[in-house]
A and B are shown apart, each in its own frame.
Chain A
Amino acid sequence: MTYQFDFTDVFSAWPELAWGALHTLVLSGLAMAIGMVVAIAGALGKTSGPKPVRIAIDAYIELIRNTPFLIQIFMIFFGLPSLGIRLSSNTAALIALVVNVSAYAIEIIRAGIENIDKGQIEAGRALGLKPLQIFRLIVLKPAIQAIYPSLTSQFILLMLNSSVCSVIAATELTAAAGDIQSRTFRSFEVYFTITCMYFILSLIFWQAFGAIDRKFLRTPVKR
């Protein structure tokens, strides 16, 4: 083996990498937050909307789930300007992530809504619980318990997926690595470093989500 590893250039660019990681987190967090709003609206539309709305939402879910994220970014960043909609690369990246994640989150939230047991609501009423208690203990908590694991793993997938946004030069970790790579030509070193960074972020989120789950969602209901 004659290859000389040289991480000095990569490590000396740590402010850029930290900045990139921060942007990855901001981009993913924003996309998840907006995606959730879109997905809750979509899930309500799918469970209780009129038929044309339900069909439109189904078509949206199928279309997004069965095409690559990369093509979705290209459509938004390169395709939309020909319809007169011009977006900066960061906005396009955010919109693409929202469009993508909401298609998955709609189905998760819909399952959560359908998980609510009408019989239990009646039982709660019979036991004399107040409407707010019924909503909090019988509707909201089981629904959150049902969707929490899927939604949190969806967030980690979204964060990893956001690396694809580097192709349109959005500000995030993989794009920062691309800049460093083109300056230093240390391709392996820089990509290896940021792969480790993504992995550490995933580990942190796995741990944190797991801890929240154990602390707030798996304990018996407090009265």
Chain B
Amino acid sequence: MRELGSGDIFYILGALRWTLLLSIIAFIGGSVGGTLIALARTGRFQWLRTIAAGYIKVFQGTPLLLQLFLAFFAPGIFGISVDPWTAAALGLSLHASAFLGEIWRGAIEVVPHGQSEAATALGLRYWPRMALVIVPQAVRIAIPPTVGFLVQLIKGTSLASIIGFVELTRAAQVINNATFHPFTIFGLVALVYFIVCWPLSAYSRRMERKLAAVAR
């Protein structure tokens, strides 16, 4: 057992970049997947709607921890061994796809149906109708819950530590195992997460209030 030094603190704080990078990758992956899910869920084809709804249910009805475990172990079935990095990025992206897909489906459906009908009457086909008429209106509604989910995602990256990915939480565990100052170390890490997440939560809440005021 050794003393907790400033080098240890910097090691933990430095690991924040892996938490942030993993969050960004998962958010980008989730945005791509979420767009597909939201479009499939609101589209014309019944079978696509069913698949998208099933995908969302599965990810909302199982623990994120186990989604990460399966992302880590399932590629092995196909003879591919993945490192914790890939598994965490894959698992969190699939997870985010489901939640963002559900949020964005809601936002698309809130846009009044008349808008879509008017765009069709003006001769716009599906893609221009979506891109020019529906999505610009849906985005405003979608921002607060999307940012709210981003906070969930950042907190969720802490679970990647359990499959061995060294980010903020894992770095804290490593230092704690060597120095054993759990209260200081995990307190510090909680503070770091708070500093990252709280402004996002506050922004999400402010935007939500603004939208509610406009709607009234």
The smallest beta-carbon distance between B53 and chain A, in angstroms, is 13
Does any Cβ of B come within 8 Å of A66's Cβ?
yes
Q: How many angstroms between the C-alpha atoms of A81 and B182 in the bound complex?
A: 9
Within 8 A of A (CB), among B96-117: none
Q: How many angstroms between the C-alpha atoms of A203 and B62 in the bound complex?
A: 10
Residues on B with beta carbons closer than 8 Å to the beta carbon of A67 = 155, 190, 193-194, 197
Residues on B with beta carbons closer than 8 Å to the beta carbon of A202 = 60-62
Interface of B is mostly: helix
Does any Cβ of A come within 8 Å of B74's Cβ?
yes
Is B63 within 8 A of A174, CB to CB? yes
Does any Cβ of B come within 8 Å of A188's Cβ?
yes
Is B62 within 8 A of A82, CB to CB? no
Is B155 within 8 A of A199, CB to CB? no
Is A188 within 8 A of B77, CB to CB? yes
Closest to B76 in A: A188
Q: How many angstroms between the C-alpha atoms of A156 and B162 in the bound complex?
A: 22
Residues on B with beta carbons closer than 8 Å to the beta carbon of A80 = 183
Is B155 within 8 A of A192, CB to CB? no
Q: How many angstroms between the C-alpha atoms of A49 and B61 in the bound complex?
A: 37
Is B169 within 8 A of A191, CB to CB? no
Does any Cβ of A come within 8 Å of B92's Cβ?
no
Is B65 within 8 A of A69, CB to CB? no
Chain A interface residue count, CB cutoff 8 Å, equals 41
- Among A67, A69, A164, A199, the most chain B Cβ lie within 10 Å of the Cβ of A67
Is A66 within 8 A of B194, CB to CB? yes
Residues on A with beta carbons closer than 8 Å to the beta carbon of B74 = 188, 192
Q: How many angstroms between the C-alpha atoms of A166 and B68 in the bound complex?
A: 14
Q: How many angstroms between the C-alpha atoms of A81 and B176 in the bound complex?
A: 14
Is A195 within 8 A of B70, CB to CB? yes
The residue that A174 contacts in the complex, of B65, B73, B193, with Cβ under 8 A, is B65
Does any Cβ of A come within 8 Å of B10's Cβ?
no
Task: Tell me whether A191 and B176 are in contact in the complex, defined as CB-CB below 8 angstroms, given that A66-B151, A70-B169, A78-B182 are known contacts.
Answer: no
- Among A3, A63, A66, A203, the most chain B Cβ lie within 10 Å of the Cβ of A66
Is A79 within 8 A of B182, CB to CB? yes
Is A70 within 8 A of B183, CB to CB? no
Does any Cβ of B come within 8 Å of A55's Cβ?
no
Q: How many angstroms between the C-alpha atoms of A5 and B78 in the bound complex?
A: 11
Does any Cβ of A come within 8 Å of B11's Cβ?
no
Is A3 within 8 A of B76, CB to CB? yes
The residue that B198 contacts in the complex, of A1, A66, A83, with Cβ under 8 A, is A66
The smallest beta-carbon distance between B199 and chain A, in angstroms, is 9
What 6 A-B pairs have minimum CB-CB distances, sorted nearest first?
A: A202-B61, A78-B182, A68-B158, A163-B63, A66-B197, A68-B155
**Chain B interface residues toward A at CB < 8 A:** 58, 60-67, 69-70, 73-74, 76-79, 151, 155-156, 158-159, 161-162, 169, 172-173, 176, 181-183, 186-187, 189-190, 193-194, 197-198, 201
Q: A62-B201, A195-B70, A199-B58 are in contact. List 9 more A-B contacts (CB 8 A).
A: A3-B79, A66-B193, A69-B158, A71-B158, A74-B182, A82-B183, A83-B183, A160-B61, A163-B63
